[in-house]
């Protein structure tokens, strides 16, 4: 598994980065991005710490740990500047918390995340076809999520991605150790979202491609 959206106790996850990475390796992950929730109050506090721990862990473990961030519940007008600031601080994967069906995420977040050039638009809910086309044009990956609640939008995202050719990535949005998934559970999530085994392979290749662009 490659999983590019997870949380540690630097936001609302349960585990220290070192333990999350250890547990991910234990169940067979090859790479994991640590993408804690941030707004302008904590971005500069979280990112340098994730950069440091990922660098340290990568010296000692076969799994690859990647420092990232999930920009969450920002007024859409703040997103572009925050994406830029996150990258400047060293975030290698910038996720934006999209317009999930289960939270009052500000309308316009999906559009701004795409235009700002986030790497991954997480759980984009009832994203419009125009936005999905724009995501394809801007090379922004749309997320299929294993997380309960957010996953209510998976079928819609799959339908529009199939229609437009937009590219998908599978993530867990892990907050606690039991949210990490094996490949066989990933296949169940994918199948339940209306996709097939080869789509899981394609999504893992998309994740790998995103990682190959990193320094």
Binding site for Zn ion (CB under 5 A): 70, 97, 122, 173
Taking the chain, what is the end-to-end CA distance rounded to the nearest angstrom?
A: 21
> Would you call 119 helix, strand, or coil by DSSP?
coil
- Sequence-separated contacts (24+) of 78-85 with Cβ below 8 Å: 78/39, 78/40, 79/109, 79/112, 79/113, 79/116, 79/118, 80/112, 80/115, 80/116, 82/38, 82/39, 82/40, 82/43, 83/113, 83/116, 83/117, 83/118, 84/116, 85/43, 85/44
- Shortest distance (Å) from residue 60 CB to Zn ion: 26
As given in the structure block, the two tokens for residue 147 are 């997380």
- Shortest distance (Å) from residue 33 CB to Zn ion: 11
C-beta nearest to Zn ion: residue? 97
Considering the complex, state which of residue 70 and residue 119 has its C-beta at the smaller distance from Zn ion.
Answer: 70
Considering the complex, state which of residue 176 and residue 201 has its C-beta at the smaller distance from Zn ion.
Answer: 176
- Shortest distance (Å) from residue 12 CB to Zn ion: 9
Considering the complex, state which of residue 75 and residue 163 has its C-beta at the smaller distance from Zn ion.
Answer: 75
- Shortest distance (Å) from residue 137 CB to Zn ion: 23
Residues 144, 156: contact at Cβ < 8 Å?
no
Q: How many CB atoms sit inside 10 A of residue 137's CB?
A: 11
Considering the complex, state which of residue 137 and residue 193 has its C-beta at the smaller distance from Zn ion.
Answer: 193
* Phi (first) and psi of residue 135, to 5 degrees: -60, -40
Considering the complex, state which of residue 105 and residue 166 has its C-beta at the smaller distance from Zn ion.
Answer: 105
Considering the complex, state which of residue 131 and residue 173 has its C-beta at the smaller distance from Zn ion.
Answer: 173
- Shortest distance (Å) from residue 59 CB to Zn ion: 27
- Shortest distance (Å) from residue 145 CB to Zn ion: 8
């Amino acid at each position: 598994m490659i999983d590019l959206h997870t949380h540690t106790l630097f936001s609302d996850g349960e585990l220290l980065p070192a333990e999350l990475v250890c547990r991910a390796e234990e169940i067979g992950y090859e790479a994991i991005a640590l993408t804690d929730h941030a707004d302008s109050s904590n971005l500069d506090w979280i990112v340098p710490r994730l950069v440091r721990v990922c660098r340290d862990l990568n010296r000692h473990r076969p799994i690859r740990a990647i420092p990232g961030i999930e920009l969450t519940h920002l007024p859409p007008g703040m997103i572009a500047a925050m994406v830029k600031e996150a990258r400047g601080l060293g975030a290698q994967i910038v996720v934006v918390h999209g317009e999930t069906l289960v939270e009052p995420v500000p309308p316009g977040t999906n559009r701004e995340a795409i235009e700002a050039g986030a790497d991954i638009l997480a759980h984009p809910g009832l994203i419009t076809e125009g936005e999905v086309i724009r995501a394809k044009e801007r090379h922004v990956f749309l997320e299929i999520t294993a997380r309960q609640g957010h996953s209510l939008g998976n079928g819609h995202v799959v339908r529009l991605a199939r229609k437009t050719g937009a590219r998908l990535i599978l993530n867990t949005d892990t907050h606690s150790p039991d949210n990490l998934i094996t490949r066989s559970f990933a296949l169940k999530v994918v199948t339940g979202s209306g996709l097939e085994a080869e789509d899981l392979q394609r999504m893992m290749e998309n994740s790998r491609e995103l990682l190959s662009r990193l320094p």
